[in-house]
Amino acid sequence: MAKQTGNAKNLFDNIQSTIDDQLLPDLKTTRQRIDSARTTLEGLESVLKSISSFVPGFDLNAPTKTLSDLIASTHSLDDEISNVEGLATQASTFVGDTSFLLGGDLTGTRMSLRNFITYIQEYETKVDGWRAQAKVLIERTPGWIDQASIILTIFLLWFGLSQFGLLLHGLSLQRGADPFYVLRAKRVSVVEENEEVI
């Protein structure tokens, strides 16, 4: 297994050196040559256009069209070579990473993962212990605490509503209203009803 891994690592190293040392420089050189050819063709095109503008009746449209097509082809070829160069760079990175993994010693990574799993198991044990403690505390609490909390909640709601009522009475007194007017009006109407009955 170690021999096969070593052979694979050597193969990947050779591929990476071929890509980095031969393919990428050749692609850059080709792009430079295409760029210089495009510059020459653009110069020739401008010369033909200037000649056709100086000499009346001299038609140079066919060669100019051919040169325009060649210039467009150099642009597309340069773009394609640029794409191939990007792919070659990505392939070189991939091959280098694969070579590193094949030739590297992963025992440190393996030990780190084992330690991580151990810490997770210890944490799960602690959480289970905390859950057991919470369950014991819930079981030990007497039932009257639940009833007391319900009664206290109802009392606090009633107390809050009564305080709100007192606040409203205080605000009406501050505005000059008579808070006992409703009670007096009922007593007067009862007296009047009693007088009618007599």
Rounded CA gap, 29 and 23, in Å? 10
Per-residue pLDDT of the chain (198 residues; tens, 9 = 90+): 556 666 677 777 788 788 888 888 888 888 888 888 888 888 888 887 777 777 666 666 667 778 788 888 888 888 888 888 888 888 888 877 777 776 666 667 678 888 888 989 899 999 999 888 888 877 777 777 878 889 999 999 999 999 999 998 888 888 888 877 777 766 655 556 655 544
Using DSSP's 3-state secondary structure scheme, residue 36 falls into: helix
The runs of H, that is alpha helices, within 55-197 are 61-103, 107-140, 144-174, 181-197
**2-106, what's its fold?**
1.20.5
Nearest Cα to 39, choosing from 62, 67, 63, 80? Answer: 67
Phi/psi at 106 (5° precision):
-95, 15
CB 74 within 8 A of CB 37: yes
Flag whether the pTM goes above 0.85. no
Q: Where in the chain is the domain with CATH 1.20.5?
A: 2-106
